[in-house]
Amino acid sequence: MNELAVSLPGLKLKNPIMPASGCFGFGHEYSNYYDLSELGAVIMKAATGNARLGNPTPRVAETASGMLNAIGLQNPGVDKIIEYEVPFLANFDTSIIANIAGSTIEEYEMVAAAFNYTEDVHALELNISCPNVKEGGIQFGTDPVMAAKVTERVKRVSKLPVYVKLSPNVADIVEMAKAVEAAGADGLSMINTLTGMQIHLPSKRPLIANKTGGLSGPAIKPIAIRMIYEVKQNVDLPIIGMGGICSAEDVLEFLLAGASAVAVGTANFGNPLVCKEIIDELPDVLSRYGFASVQEAMGKAVFV
């Protein structure tokens, strides 16, 4: 077996590296830089029931070792994604994960169900960091009861394995993970962004037009590692880890903490070749620290 290969529910990956949702579009642009068949998988930009135009601009701001974004789930809607985007990605020898979002449980169900009718999507990533319109804007991702509910309902309609993407904006990440595990999640994906704000001094306004945005990049890596560690000690689900990954060393740190695969987000912006470079360097880094394979490194941090 390939030393980089990993198996997760529904996913046989040639390596554990995938671009994170929202940081890679649907792959067109980055396919100019390298062959997407090199990737373990691609996680697509969030899909919602109908097309969404997203937030006003500016939508991004740079922060110390990180960035804020408030794209606002702009996407052409699930039907167009299935019609135009999935077929493009299906040209490559890589797995496809659909990130799904919605403002109501019904919208999540509808989007999830739509992906039942394509053979080319291998798993769903359930983005629960969206405010629930019906419940007055409370986030699915910060309330364990609501998180469990949307997970269960999506599981019921989908034939694909469901990775629930956890929000780090909570006091107790283990409680959230346990709730979605009990609700039938096949895996976890963590972490999404932390809510942040930057004020532009000349205009005295939040730089991001939406006021707040999601903080990502190396700045949040220690929080991601801590949360994956905590969850891994308490929950049995496989974890797709993310948050600030820039290098093969970072990947190993996530594997040691308990991730089974990883996603690379913000780092693509500073280096469009980053995923490919990480894949190329990973074997060396594994062996430098005494591991023969990705499989062997998983969860191998010593916590006692």
Partner 1 sequence: MIKKEKLQIIGTKQIAKDTIEMKLENIHISETAVPGQFLHILIEGHTLGRPISIADIDKENHLVTILFKVIGSGTKRLAAYSVGQQINALGPSGNGFPLRQEAKETVLLIGGGIGVPPMYYLGKQLAAQNVNAIAILGFQTAENVFYEDKFKEIAETYIVTDDGSYGNKGLVTDLLDKVGDFDCYYTCGPLPMIQAVTSKLSGKRGYISLEERMGCGVGACLACMIPANNESGYKKICSDGPVFLAEEVTI
264 binds, among partner 1, ligand FMN, its own copies, none (CB under 5 to 8 A by kind): ligand FMN
Which residues are known catalytic residues? 130
The listed partner (partner 1, its own copies, ligand FMN, none) that binds 99, CB under 5 to 8 Å by sort, is ligand FMN
Residue from 207, 192, 217, 204 nearest 56 by CA: 207
Asked if residue 245 binds ligand FMN (CB under 6 A), the reply is: yes
Contact between residue 235 and residue 188 where contact means Cβ atoms under 8 Å apart? yes
> Residue 20, interface with ligand FMN (CB under 6 A)?
yes
Per-residue contact string for residues 115-154; x = within reach of ligand FMN by CB under 6 A? ------------x---------------------------
- Nearest approach, Cβ of residue 52 and ligand FMN (Å): 10
Binding to partner 1, residues 164-223 (CB under 8 A)? 207, 217
| Nearest distance, CB of residue 147 and partner 1, angstroms | 26
For residue 297, give both structure tokens. 């490194």
Pick out the residues of the known binding site.
21, 45-46, 69-73, 99, 127, 165, 191-193, 217, 243-244, 265-266
Side-chain half-sphere CA neighbours of 79 within 13 A = 5
For ligand FMN, the closer CB: 3 or 230:
230
Residue among 161 and 244 whose Cβ is closer to ligand FMN: 244
Q: Which is nearer to its own copies, 95 or 192 (CB)?
A: 192
Stretch near its own copies under the rule CB under 8 A, chosen from 14-22, 63-71, 112-120, 129-137? 63-71
**24 touches partner 1 by CB under 8 A:** yes
Nearest approach, Cβ of residue 290 and ligand FMN (Å): 26
212 touching its own copies, by CB under 8 A: yes
Place of tokens 């797995």: 95
Q: Which stretch binds partner 1 (CB under 8 A): 129-137, 162-170, 235-243, 261-269?
A: 261-269
For the beta carbon of residue 16, count every other beta carbon within 10 angstroms. 29
DSSP string covering the chain, please? --TT-EEETTEEESSSEEEPTTSSTTSTTGGGTS-GGGSSEEEPPPB-SS-B--PPSP-EEEETTEEEE-----BS-HHHIIIIIHHHHHTSSSEEEEEE--SSHHHHHHHHHHGGG-SS--EEEEE--SB-TTTTT-BGGG-HHHHHHHHHHHHHH-SS-EEEE--S-SS-HHHHHHHHHHTT-SEEEE--PEEE--EETTTTEESSTTS-EEEESGGGHHHHHHHHHHHHHH--S-EEEESS--SHHHHHHHHHHT-SEEEE-THHHH-TTHHHHHHHHHHHHHHHTT-SSHHHHTT-----
Measured from the CB of residue 191, what is the shortest distance to partner 1 in angstroms? 17
Q: For binding to partner 1 (CB under 8 A), which residues are involved?
A: 22-25, 28-30, 32-33, 45, 51, 53-54, 57-63, 65-67, 69, 71, 74, 76, 207, 217, 266, 268-273
Q: For binding to its own copies (CB under 8 A), which residues are involved?
A: 63-66, 68, 139, 142-143, 169-172, 194-199, 201-206, 211-213, 215, 217-223, 225-226, 229, 244, 249, 252-253, 256-257, 289, 300-303
